[in-house]
A and B are shown apart, each in its own frame.
Chain A
Amino acid sequence: MSKGEEEVKLLGAWPSPFVLRARIALNMKSVRYEFLQETFGSKSQLLLQSNPVHKKIPVLIHGDKPVCESLIIVEYIDQVWSSPPSILPSHPYDRAVARFWAAYLDEKWFPAMKSVQGAKGEEERKALMQQLEEGLALMESAYHSVSKGKPFFGGDRVGYLDIAFGCYLGWLRVIESFSGLKLLDHAKTPGLAQWAQAFCAHDAVKPVMPETDKLIEFAKVLMAKAPPK
C-alpha cells in the first residue's frame, strides 16, 4: 500500500488542545481520517495498545503504525504528506525557534494554565494568573519577532508554532470566563489578539476548534467530578 492509501485514524477527544493540534495539521494537508473519540473517564483498548507508555491522546495511527505526542504527530504529518502547505518553517533556524517556543508553552506555560482551576486559595490563583500573563507577554514579543509583520507565526500561513500555541486558545477563554479577567486582548496583547482572530477563522482550524461555551460546560462537569479538597 502506498502511503497515500494507508488508513489514518486519530484517537482523541474534542476538548483536548493536544488532539486539536493533530486535527489542524491533518486538515491543512487535506488528509482524510477517522476520528475515534475516547469516552471521558475511560481508556479504550485501542488507546492502551497504541500508546502503552503514556496511555494518552492524541495517537495518530497511520496504517498500523501509532505515532504519539501531539508535536511529534504534527512533525510526522508534515513529513509524510510533504506537498504544500508546509507546516514547519523551511529554514533550520526558524524551525529551532518554533520548536523552542512550543517547548516553552508545553513545559512552562501550560502547567500554570492547568493548575489555575485547582489552585488552593486566592494567593496561589493570583500567582498562577500572573505567570500566565507573563508568558503571554513573552509570546506577544515572540509573535512580533517571528511573524515579521505577517499575520501568523508561520508568516503568510499557519505553521507549527501557530498550531502549538493556538490549540490553547479555547481553554484560555475558559479561564478568562471563570476569573473575569482578560489575559489575551487588544489592550494587553494587541498582536496576539489579532493573530488569535485570524487563527480561529482559518479554514483548517474553524471546523475543529471547540466552542468556548461547550468547553465551559465541560469544565464545570470536570470540576464537579473533582475530589473535594
Chain B
Amino acid sequence: MAKEEYGDVKFFGSGGSPYARRVQIALKLNGVKYQHFEEDIRNKSELLLKYNPIHKKVPVLVHNDKPIAESLVILEYIDETWKTHPLLPLNPYHRALARFWSRFIDDKVLPAIQEAAWTVEVKKREKAIEEAIEGLRYLEKELNGKFFGGETIGMVDIAAAFIAFWLPLMEEAVGLKLLTHDKFPKLHKWSQEFCSHPVVRENLPPPSRLLGFFKARYASITASK
C-alpha cells in the first residue's frame, strides 16, 4: 500500500515504554506507514498533551487527526483498520479469550512483576513474587502453539512482550528469577520465538541501554533504604 492509502498516521512513543512498543510492533506487522514522534516522558510535547489530555501518556496513535490512547484500545483499532496482519481471531469465543488474557497480563501479571522487582521490603517482595509466578503459570498453561495467537503473533503475544523482553533484563538487573526454563518451558521457548521474529526484533529497544536503566534504578532504591 502506498503511504497515502494509510491516511495520515502519527505515533507517539517513548524508547523504553513497553506499552508504546506494543503499538509500534502492531503497526509494523501491518506495514502501516506512519510518522514517529519520540517523547521524552520527563518533558512531554505540546502535541502529546493535546492528543492525550486525560492521561498525558504514550502511546498515542493519531489517525487523520483523530487521537486514540491506551495500548490495548489502539491494538484493537489497528486490527480493525488495517487487515494485513490481524491481531485478534475472528471466532467470537477465541476473541473473548484473547481479550481476557491481554487484560490479565495488564491487570495482574505486569503489576506483580513490577512489584516483585522494585520492592525492597522482603515480605511484600515475596508476596509479589508469588503473585507473579501464579500469573505466569496461567500463561504457561494457556500457551499451546508457537504463539498465543497460534501460528502467528496476535494481541496476547504483543501484550506479553514485556514478559519476553523486559522481564529477563529486569531479572538480571535486580537478581530475580521468575521466568526460568524449568518452571516455564513453553513461555521460555515462546519468548525466544517472539523476540527473534524479524519484525519484533527490529522494534524492541536496545537491550544494553534498558539493562543499564534497570541497574541504575535498582541501585538507587537499594541505596536509599
Interface size class of A (residues with CB under 8 A): 20 to 34
* CA of A76 to CA of B103, assembled, Å: 15
Which residue in chain A gives the minimum CB-CB distance to B138? A53
Does B95 reach chain A (CB closer than 8 Å)? yes
**How many angstroms from the CA of A75 to the CA of B79 in the assembled complex?**
15
Stretch in B65-73, B123-131, B143-151, B170-178 with 4+ CB within 8 Å of A? B65-73
Q: Which residues of B contact A53 (CB under 8 A)?
A: 104, 138
Name the contact of B92 in the complex, choosing from A79, A95, A103 (C-beta under 8 A): A79
Residues of A with C-beta under 8 A to B69: 100
**Cβ-based interface call for B1 (8 A):** no
B77 sits at the interface (CB 8 A):
yes
- Whether B73 and A69, one on each chain, are in contact in the complex, defined by CB atoms closer than 8 angstroms, is no
Query: CB-CB < 8 A to B74: which residues of A?
Result: 96
Please judge, given known A-B contacts A65-B93, A72-B100, A75-B96, whether A100 and B81 are in contact too, CB under 8 Å.
no
Residues of A within 8 A of B96 (CB): 67, 72-73, 75-76
Cβ contacts under 8 Å, A99 to chain B: 70, 73, 76
A75 vs B95: C-alpha distance in the bound complex, in angstroms? Answer: 9
| Residue numbers in B under 8 Å from A76 (CB-CB) | 92-93, 95-96
The answer to whether A69 and B100 touch (CB under 8 A), given A53-B138, A92-B80, A138-B54, is yes
Q: How far is the CB of A150 from chain B (nearest CB, A)?
A: 19
CA distance A67 to B93 in the complex (A): 8
Interface string of A139-182 (1 = CB under 8 A from B): 00000000000000000000000000000000000000000000
Any A CB within 8 A of the CB of B197: no
Contact of B103 among A65, A69, A73, A92 (CB under 8 A): A69
A residues in contact with B44, CB < 8 Å = none
Which residues from chain B contact A62 at a C-beta distance below 8 Å? 93
A95 to B72, CA, bound (A): 12
Q: Which residue of chain A lies nearest to B104 when distances are taken between CB atoms in the complex?
A: A53
Residues of chain B lying within 8 A (CB to CB) of residue A97: 68
B95 CB contacts on chain A under 8 angstroms: 75-76, 79
B73 partner residues in chain A, CB cutoff 8 A? 96, 99-100, 103
Contacts of B70 in A (CB 8 A): 99-100, 103
A62 to B81, CA, bound (A): 29
A165 to B141, CA, bound (A): 34
**Complex CA distance for A121 and B27, rounded to whole angstroms:** 48
Report which of B54, B77, B93, B99 forms a contact with A96, defined as CB distance below 8 A. B77
A92 CA / B92 CA spacing, docked (Å): 17
Bound together, the chains give a CA A70 to CA B92 distance in angstroms of: 15
> B3 an interface residue at 8 Å Cβ cutoff?
no
Kindly state whether residue B63 has any CB partner on chain A within 8 Å: yes
Contact between chains at B63 and A93 (CB < 8 Å): yes
A129 at the binding interface (Cβ < 8 Å): no
The residues in A between 42 and 76 inclusive whose CB is less than 8 angstroms from any CB of B are: 53, 62, 65, 67-69, 72-73, 75-76
Q: How many angstroms between the C-alpha atoms of A103 and B69 in the bound complex?
A: 10
Does A104 have its Cβ within 8 Å of any Cβ on chain B? yes
- Complex alpha-carbon distance, A104 and B54, angstroms: 9
Task: Answer whether residue A80 sits at the interface, using C-beta atoms and an 8 A cutoff.
Answer: yes
Assess whether B68 is in contact with A96, with CB atoms less than 8 Å apart. Answer: yes
Contact (Cβ within 8 A) B77 A95: yes
CA distance A72 to B72 in the complex (A): 13
User: Are B100 and A100 in touch, CB under 8 angstroms?
Assistant: no
Counting from the closest, the 7 A-B pairs by CB-CB distance are A92-B80, A79-B92, A96-B77, A96-B68, A76-B96, A99-B73, A67-B96
Further 17 A-B residue pairs, CB within 8 A, beyond A67-B96, A69-B99, A92-B80: A53-B104, A65-B93, A72-B100, A72-B103, A73-B96, A75-B96, A76-B95, A76-B96, A93-B66, A93-B77, A95-B76, A95-B77, A96-B74, A96-B77, A99-B76, A100-B69, A104-B54
21 CB contacts below 8 A, A to B, read A53-B138, A65-B93, A69-B103, A72-B100, A72-B103, A73-B96, A75-B95, A76-B92, A76-B96, A80-B92, A92-B77, A93-B66, A93-B68, A93-B77, A96-B68, A96-B73, A96-B74, A97-B68, A100-B69, A100-B73, A103-B70
